[in-house]
């Protein structure tokens, strides 16, 4: 081959490279996102098993800080795990398996929820509680405690395991169902009011947020009054305690396969629906008018998004209580990792959310703080988010939100 | 006084009329709330109230001049009976409530003009969380005695609220690095810091006994306004510290409503004005919430009303906000007293939320859409 041929070949290659540069970049980004998702998924699975195998729920005095002890505990846990799966041994491990699956699903659902809200409202501060879902839950729970609640004869966990088999579904999960109904009612009311206020026409996003804020706030303060009244007049009554601990975020009472079915099925379905909507949500990010000119029915999409998110939030807060900050923080972090494309953002936030939730839950269990997991997520999640914010901002990345 | 002047300096009849009506309404409501009894739910006759207050003034003037009324005070007071104490107590309660309403409304208007966002509430910078944290620490430290410790309450609440404000500002400064200090940074940092502190405090709230929870509820709901001299002095000090600078800077707030570039070109140091106004607004908010309970809605709603009546001009808005804020909060206090929820009526925060709801609906259904 002469020097001229080599030169011509080189030029052709350079031209091809130039021609397909954009395509190459796009392909490279797609690959890197897919890789990130795979890494997250694998990490999630690994963390799931590590959480199951590492010692937990051990009193502080029984901790031994040497490697051999950890190996021993892990080995014991592994044998128990496989024996349980094979049905040879009945131990609490079988509850732990469903509990950890629930924890992962809840983390995923909360994060997806936050991503959808932030996309649908185009507001970085929107979180699942923006439309008054939480107040609705308090409303339902308050009605339940005031009119249906009967004093439990035994510990809730014992009850869930032994006594519950003879009861109907409603008797077992009455409070959860009431809270769920309250959530739906409140969101429907806020949507209705916002619609009436906008003159029956389009739902503007700031109108929705404002009415959620104000009506949620008013209803919430009226309900707080009931709690205060009970506290004043009957400080030691069981209803007072029930009201106070009604919406506390905890996974203590969800650990049977039935719970897994009741919580997991809606979550999986809703995440699937959101995945189907991902391209439309991408277009919505351009702004309402632009999305409309691209042939998107903005109102319908936003209503579906709100409906799905409400179902997710309602399921979670009715069974597990309020779990703060995951829904606000994880989408922001996931956006840094996989970019703002909903095609990758939704699976990314789901996996990252599941991961963080499991880690927080396991750390909480190990230190005996699992009963107040909703508060732990606020604390841990908030601190992580703050560090990331300061770190990235100082380096000049200013593209949050 | 520049009330009711438009930009060109031409008097506008409407504004003057509104202001007169407002003044009349305030005086009427103040007189009405002086007539409310304290010991039971009912009214005294205005003549009795007038006589009692006259006696009160007489006694205190003759105290300076060593006159007869001061020397003979026990007999004179006994002659007027319980009505004397009720009228005097009502005067203090109504005064404190009115001043709190004023402060809250002014704080709301400052924040809305600085953030140029109709949703900006002064509690957004974490002041509310700070106060809550202070109350929880107090309730856990002193138990039931907390209810009778006004000075400690103010110390804790102001200290925690100001610490919270400093924390938010510091972290926002840290996160913005060498770039300009942006409002969005401040809001998001405030949301996160409040969430973290709120998480810690609610951990203690879940852990505490019902008796402590009751103390905490009593503390934060402020069922009966504390009118001890220390409270009055504290409120007067904060009012003087905040309202006078605000009054002197009211021209600057007009300029801050523009872009920061434009206001810079008008010869204004925007950063200094913004910083001062944030600190002033948070102090006012703290004072209002410490002395009057969770009444943050006043600061969100009143600036809307006053902007609807008096236009967007800061100087007219100042007086409008003062009067409307005081009026709304005083009205809510009176309504709250007459609801037989407990001996002292019901928490004023709930009444404020419910009373301002229709106003809010009217504001956002209104054609003017000032909020968008």
Q: What is the DSSP string of B270-307?
A: HHHHHHHHHHHHHHHHHHHHHHH-S-THHHHHHHHHHH
- Closest residue in B to A369 (Cα) is B203
A-chain CB neighbours of B217 within 8 Å are 228, 231-232
Q: With beta carbons less than 8 A apart as the criterion, state whether A362 and A54 touch.
A: yes
Measured N-to-C along each axis, helices B270-292 and B82-115 cross at an angle, to the nearest 10 degrees, of 150
Cβ atoms within 10 Å, residue A22: 9
In a domain, A81, yes or no: no
In a domain, A152, yes or no: yes
A146 touching B (Cβ < 8 Å): no
- Closest residue in B to A383 (Cα) is B196
In chain A, which among 114-133 make CB contacts under 8 A with chain B?
124-125
- Average pLDDT of the segment spanning B210-219: 85
Confidence of residue B65 (pLDDT cuts 50, 70, 90): confident
**Per the CB < 8 Å rule, is B349 touching A229?**
no
Instruction: Determine the residue among B182, B202, B342 to mutate to test chain A binding: the one whose Cβ has the most chain A Cβ atoms within 10 Å.
Output: B202
**Per the CB < 8 Å rule, is A125 touching B187?**
yes
What are the Cα distances from residue A137, in Å, to A349, A357, B247?
Answer: 25, 22, 44
Q: Which residues contact A32 (CB under 8 A, 6 or more apart)?
A: none
- Average pLDDT of the segment spanning A11-31: 81
Q: Is the pLDDT of residue A267 over 90?
A: yes
Query: Residue B152, Cα to own-chain centre: how many angstroms?
Result: 20
**Per the CB < 8 Å rule, is A400 touching B188?**
yes
- Closest residue in B to A238 (Cα) is B210
Tell me which H or E stretch contains A200.
none
In a domain, A118, yes or no: yes
What are the Cα distances from residue A68, in Å, to A53, A63, A65?
Answer: 14, 12, 9
A69 touching B (Cβ < 8 Å): no
Shortest CA gap A296–chain B (Å): 23
pLDDT at B147: 84
> What is the C-alpha separation between B20 and A401, in angstroms, rounded?
47
In a domain, A168, yes or no: yes
- Closest residue in B to A389 (Cα) is B175
CATH of the domain at A109: 1.10.3470.10
Shortest CA gap A203–chain B (Å): 13
**Per the CB < 8 Å rule, is B206 touching A248?**
yes
Instruction: Determine the residue among A217, A230, A321 to mutate to test chain B binding: the one whose Cβ has the most chain B Cβ atoms within 10 Å.
Output: A217
pLDDT at B7: 59
Cβ atoms within 10 Å, residue A147: 8
Cβ atoms within 10 Å, residue A137: 29
pLDDT at B331: 92
**A390-401 burial code (b ≥16 CB/10 A, e <16):** beebeeeeeebe
* Encoded tokens for B122: 């002064």
Average predicted confidence (pLDDT) for chain A: 80
> What is the C-alpha separation between B267 and B263, in angstroms, rounded?
7
Q: Which residue did the predictor score with more confidence, B126 or A126?
A: B126
In a domain, A379, yes or no: yes
pLDDT digits (tens, 9 = 90+) for A348-384: 999 999 998 988 888 888 777 777 888 888 888 788 7
- Average pLDDT of the segment spanning A296-318: 86
ipTM attached to this prediction: 0.76
In a domain, A308, yes or no: yes
Least confident of A210-219, A298-307, B257-266, B303-312: B257-266
> What is the C-alpha separation between A209 and A197, in angstroms, rounded?
13
Cβ atoms within 10 Å, residue B168: 27
Query: Residue A9, Cα to own-chain centre: how many angstroms?
Result: 54
| Alpha helices (H) in chain B, listed in sequence order | 13-34, 46-65, 68-71, 73-80, 82-115, 127-142, 150-176, 183-207, 210-221, 229-248, 250-256, 260-265, 270-292, 297-310, 314-338, 348-365
> What is the C-alpha separation between B33 and B29, in angstroms, rounded?
6
**Per the CB < 8 Å rule, is B211 touching A197?**
no
**Torsion-angle region of A400 (φ positive above 0: left; ψ -120 to 50: alpha; else: beta):** beta
Domain B14-44+81-344: CATH class, spelled out: mainly alpha
> What is the C-alpha separation between A157 and A144, in angstroms, rounded?
20
In chain B, which among 219-258 make CB contacts under 8 A with chain A?
221
B23 touching A (Cβ < 8 Å): no
Q: With beta carbons less than 8 A apart as the criterion, state whether A389 and B175 touch.
A: yes
Enclosing domain of residue A305: 92-394
Q: Which residues contact B98 (CB under 8 A, 6 or more apart)?
A: B30, B326, B329, B330
**Per the CB < 8 Å rule, is B349 touching A221?**
yes
Residue A69: CA count within 13 A, CB half-sphere:
8
- Average pLDDT of the segment spanning B30-50: 88
Shortest CA gap A138–chain B (Å): 16
* Encoded tokens for B7: 């930009």
pLDDT at B327: 93
Confidence of residue B1 (pLDDT cuts 50, 70, 90): very low
pLDDT at A120: 79
In a domain, A117, yes or no: yes
pLDDT at B10: 57
pLDDT at A359: 87
* Total domains present in chain A: 1
What is the torsional sign of CA A100, A104, A106, A107?
positive
Instruction: Determine the residue among A210, A220, A372 to mutate to test chain B binding: the one whose Cβ has the most chain B Cβ atoms within 10 Å.
Output: A210
In chain A, which among 322-381 make CB contacts under 8 A with chain B?
324-325, 328, 372, 375-379
Shortest CA gap A113–chain B (Å): 19
| Alpha helices (H) in A144-204, listed in sequence order | 156-161, 169-197
pLDDT at A399: 46
pLDDT digits (tens, 9 = 90+) for B161-203: 999 999 988 888 887 766 666 676 777 788 888 888 888 888 8
Cβ atoms within 10 Å, residue B334: 19
Dihedral pair phi/psi, residue B139, rounded to 5°: -60, -40
pLDDT at A165: 63
> Closest Cα to residue B95, out of B254, B266, B287, B329?
B329
- Closest residue in B to A223 (Cα) is B350
Confidence of residue A401 (pLDDT cuts 50, 70, 90): very low
Q: With beta carbons less than 8 A apart as the criterion, state whether B286 and B164 touch.
A: no
* Encoded tokens for A59: 């009193």
A vs B, Cβ pairs < 8 A, gives 120
A-chain CB neighbours of B357 within 8 Å are 214-215, 218
- Percentage, residues of chain A above pLDDT 90: 8
**Per the CB < 8 Å rule, is B191 touching A372?**
no
A-chain CB neighbours of B116 within 8 Å are none
> Closest Cα to residue A251, out of A178, A324, A314, A319?
A319
Q: Is the pLDDT of residue A109 over 90?
A: yes
Least confident of A15-19, A61-65, A128-132, A145-149: A61-65
Q: With beta carbons less than 8 A apart as the criterion, state whether B89 and B100 touch.
A: no
B350 touching A (Cβ < 8 Å): yes
* Encoded tokens for A292: 């409309």
Calculate ∠ Cα A17-A22-A28, nearest 5°: 95
pLDDT at A194: 77
Q: What is the DSSP string of A298-359?
A: HHHHHHHHHHHHHHHHHHHHHHH----SHHHHHHHHHHHHH-S-HHHHHHHHHHHHHHHHHH
> Closest Cα to residue A211, out of B365, B302, B264, B150?
B365
> Closest Cα to residue B192, out of A103, A400, A218?
A400
Q: Which of A221, A231, A378 sits opposite B199 (nearest CB)?
A: A378
Segments making up each domain of chain B, as ranges? 14-44+81-344
**Per the CB < 8 Å rule, is B364 touching A197?**
yes
pLDDT at A338: 84
């Amino acid at each position: 081959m002469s020097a001229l041929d080599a030169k011509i070949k080189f030029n052709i290659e350079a031209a091809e490279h130039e021609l397909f540069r954009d395509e190459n970049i796009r392909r490279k980004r797609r690959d890197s996102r897919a890789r990130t998702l795979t890494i997250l998924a694998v990490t999630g699975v690994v963390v799931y098993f590590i959480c199951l195998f590492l010692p937990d729920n051990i009193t502080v005095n029984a901790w031994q800080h040497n490697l051999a002890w950890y190996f021993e505990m892990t080995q014991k846990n592994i044998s128990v795990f496989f024996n349980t799966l094979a049905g040879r041994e009945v131990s609490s491990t079988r509850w732990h398996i469903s509990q950890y699956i629930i924890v992962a699903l809840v983390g995923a659902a909360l994060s997806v929820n936050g991503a959808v809200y932030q996309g649908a409202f185009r507001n970085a501060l929107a979180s699942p509680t923006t439309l008054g879902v939480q107040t609705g839950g308090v409303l339902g729970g308050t009605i339940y405690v005031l009119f249906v609640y009967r004093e439990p004869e035994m510990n809730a966990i014992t009850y869930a395991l032994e006594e519950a088999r003879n009861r109907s579904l409603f008797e077992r999960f009455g409070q959860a169902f009431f809270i769920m109904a309250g959530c739906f009612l409140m969101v429907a009311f806020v949507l209705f009011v916002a619609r009436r206020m906008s003159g029956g026409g389009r739902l503007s996003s700031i109108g929705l947020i404002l009415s959620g804020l104000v009506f949620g706030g008013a209803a919430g303060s009226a309900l707080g009054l009931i709690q205060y009244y009970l506290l004043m007049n009957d400080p030691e009554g069981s209803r007072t305690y029930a009201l106070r601990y009604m919406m506390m975020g905890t996974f203590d009472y969800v650990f049977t396969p039935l719970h897994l079915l009741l919580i997991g099925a809606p979550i999986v379905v809703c995440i699937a629906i959101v995945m189907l909507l991902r391209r439309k949500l991408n277009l919505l990010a351009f702004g309402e008018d632009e999305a409309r000119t691209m042939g998107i029915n903005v109102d319908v999409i936003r209503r579906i998004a709100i409906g799905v998110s409400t179902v997710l939030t309602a399921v979670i807060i009715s069974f597990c209580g309020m779990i703060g900050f995951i829904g606000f923080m994880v989408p922001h972090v996931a956006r840094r990792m996989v970019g703002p494309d909903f095609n990758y953002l939704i699976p990314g936030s789901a996996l990252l959310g599941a991961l963080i939730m499991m880690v927080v839950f396991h750390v909480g269990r190990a230190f005996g703080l699992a009963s107040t997991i909703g508060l732990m997520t606020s604390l841990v999640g908030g601190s992580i988010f703050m560090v990331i914010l300061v770190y990235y901002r100082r380096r000049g990345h200013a593209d949050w939100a | 006084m520049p009330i009711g002047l438009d930009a060109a300096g031409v008097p506008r009849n409407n504004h003057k009329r509104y202001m007169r009506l407002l003044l009349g309404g305030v005086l009427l409501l103040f007189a009405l709330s002086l007539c409310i009894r304290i010991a039971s739910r009912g009214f005294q006759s205005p003549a009795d109230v007038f006589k009692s207050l006259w006696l009160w003034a007489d006694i205190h003037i003759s105290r300076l001049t060593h006159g007869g009324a001061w020397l003979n005070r026990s007999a004179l007071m006994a002659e007027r009976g319980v009505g004397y104490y009720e009228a005097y107590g009502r005067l203090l309660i109504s005064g404190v409530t009115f001043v709190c309403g004023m402060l809250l409304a002014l704080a709301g208007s400052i924040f809305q003009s600085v953030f140029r966002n109709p949703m900006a509430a002064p509690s957004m910078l974490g002041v509310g969380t700070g106060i809550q944290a202070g109350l929880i620490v107090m309730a856990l430290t002193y138990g039931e005695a907390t209810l009778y410790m006004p000075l400690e309450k103010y110390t804790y609440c102001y200290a925690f609220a100001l610490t919270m404000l400093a924390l938010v500002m510091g972290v926002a400064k840290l996160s913005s690095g060498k770039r300009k200090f942006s409002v969005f940074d401040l809001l998001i940092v405030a949301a996160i810091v409040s969430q973290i502190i709120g998480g810690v405090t609610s951990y203690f709230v879940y852990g505490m006994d019902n008796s402590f929870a009751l103390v905490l509820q009593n503390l934060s709901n402020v069922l009966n306004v504390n009118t001890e001299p220390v409270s009055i002095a504290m409120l007067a000090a904060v009012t003087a510290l905040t309202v006078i600078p605000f009054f002197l800077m009211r021209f600057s707030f007009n300029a801050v409503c523009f872009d920061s570039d434009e206001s810079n070109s008008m010869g204004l140091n925007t950063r200094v004005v913004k910083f001062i106004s944030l600190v002033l607004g948070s102090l006012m908010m703290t004072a209002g919430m410490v002395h009057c309970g969770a009444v943050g809605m006043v600061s969100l709603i009143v600036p809307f009303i006053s902007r609807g009546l008096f236009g967007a001009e800061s100087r007219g808005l100042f007086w409008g906000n003062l009067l409307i804020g005081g009026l709304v909060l005083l009205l809510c206090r009176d309504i709250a007293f007459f609801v037989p929820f407990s001996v002292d009526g019901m928490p004023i925060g709930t009444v404020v939320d419910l009373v301002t709801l229709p106003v809010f609906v009217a504001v956002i259904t209104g054609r003017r859409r000032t909020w968008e």
